[in-house]
């Protein structure tokens, strides 16, 4: 008897299976590649093949694609990333007071006091402080992204990189290479620039106090962790399953929801064999002219997304 969490983001789709004792039984990281429906189906198929005898007692979704994921799998809850990350962190340690999270396309900070979210901020408009920017620079330098943090730790000194804009940061890195700085020094400078940008923008005006958890895929980068610790002056903790915290949080919240209702809405793993197609149309019901997405499973409409008033999204699936 397991609980399923699905975190659909613009870069990755994460799936987590936890048991009744909140142990992570299995997890999957898949590239979304602009096709969340395909990623969800692929992830469920892989989980089914690896855990043939499992029964899903509850399912929850989070991330930017949480609504489409819920429509497809039949989720018991739909929660935003702030709530999901906070719940997962508090399950590990009730004394967490700050969560730093950097994902593929956005970053966020969550402030907790006495086990409750009291403040948060997100950056979704600039790539300079995200994992996709690091991926791009690793590719340009021909260094595996997994080794990026190790390079940063090797440097005896760092070079200051302009970190407020992805375009300027890349230009500055190229300029510093032309001046003769080695890769380790430049990468350390980039890590420090990302942290500086994060604290000056996402963390601006926030009271960052320990215990601090660093979550998201970028938390695997030792150079970013070290840069945070140098800037803040205290330890930053990277949880064991830092990259899956959103999905784990969704699973935990779904478990609690089903404990109250007594039954799950999860549709089962047969949907991996279904033909899922999304189409869109413009609603002419008012001046908003919402672009509404219609989800079909085989020949049946299973849900609508994208309207502001709920005229379509509140329709009961056929």
Q: How far is CA 283 from CA 280, 290, 304, 311, 312, in A?
A: 10, 5, 12, 10, 9
The percent of residues above 90 in pLDDT, for the chain, comes to: 49
The CATH superfamily holding the domain 2-83+246-273 is ATPase, nucleotide binding domain (3.30.420.40)
Domain boundaries, the chain: 2-83+246-273, 275-318
What is the number of other CB atoms lying within 10 angstroms of the CB of residue 237? 17
Question: Please, how many CA atoms are within 13 Å of residue 128, restricted to the half-sphere of its CB?
Answer: 27
Residue 234: its pLDDT value, please? 96
Query: Is a pLDDT exceeding 60 seen at residue 317?
Result: no
The H or E element spanning position 100 is: strand 98-102
pLDDT per residue over 214-269, tens digit each?
Answer: 999 889 899 999 999 999 999 999 999 999 999 999 999 999 999 999 999 999 98
Give the pLDDT band of residue 127 (cuts 50, 70, 90): low
- Comparing 5-14, 114-123, 162-171, which segment has the lowest mean pLDDT? 162-171
**Cis omega (within 30 of 0) for bond into 211:** yes
Q: What is the pTM of this model?
A: 0.87
Contact 106, 269 (CB under 8 A): no
Residue 318: its pLDDT value, please? 40
């Amino acid at each position: 008897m397991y609980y399923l969490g699905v975190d659909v983001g613009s870069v990755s789709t994460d799936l987590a299976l936890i048991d009744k004792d909140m142990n992570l039984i299995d997890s999957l990281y898949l590239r979304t590649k602009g096709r969340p429906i395909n990623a969800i189906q692929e992830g469920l198929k892989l989980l089914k093949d690896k855990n043939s005898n499992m029964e899903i007692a509850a399912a929850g979704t989070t991330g930017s694609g949480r609504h489409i994921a819920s429509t497809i799998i039949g989720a018991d809850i739909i929660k935003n990333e702030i709530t999901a990350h906070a719940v997962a962190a508090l399950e590990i340690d009730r004394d967490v007071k700050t969560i730093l999270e950097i994902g593929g396309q956005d970053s966020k900070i969550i402030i907790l006091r006495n086990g409750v979210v009291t403040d948060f901020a997100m950056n979704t408009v600039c790539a300079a402080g995200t994992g996709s920017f690091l991926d791009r620079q690793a590719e340009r330098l021909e260094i595996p992204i997994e080794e990026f943090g190790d390079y940063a730790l090797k440097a005896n000194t760092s070079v200051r990189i302009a970190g407020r804009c992805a375009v300027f940061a890349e230009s500055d890195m190229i300029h510093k290479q032309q001046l003769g700085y080695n890769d380790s020094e430049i990468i350390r400078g980039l890590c420090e620039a990302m942290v500086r940008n994060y604290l000056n923008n996402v963390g601006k005006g926030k009271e960052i106090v320990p215990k601090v958890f660093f979550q998201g895929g970028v938390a695997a980068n030792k150079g970013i962790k070290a840069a945070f610790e140098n800037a803040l002056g205290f330890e930053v903790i990277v949880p064991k399953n830092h990259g899956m915290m959103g999905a784990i949080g969704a699973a935990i919240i779904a478990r609690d929801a089903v404990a109250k209702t007594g039954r799950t809405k999860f549709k089962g793993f047969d949907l991996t064999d279904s033909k899922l197609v999304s189409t869109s149309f413009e609603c002419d019901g008012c001046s908003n002219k919402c672009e509404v997405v219609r989800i079909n499973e085989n020949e049946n409409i299973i849900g609508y997304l994208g309207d502001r008033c709920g005229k379509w999204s509140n329709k009961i699936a056929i």
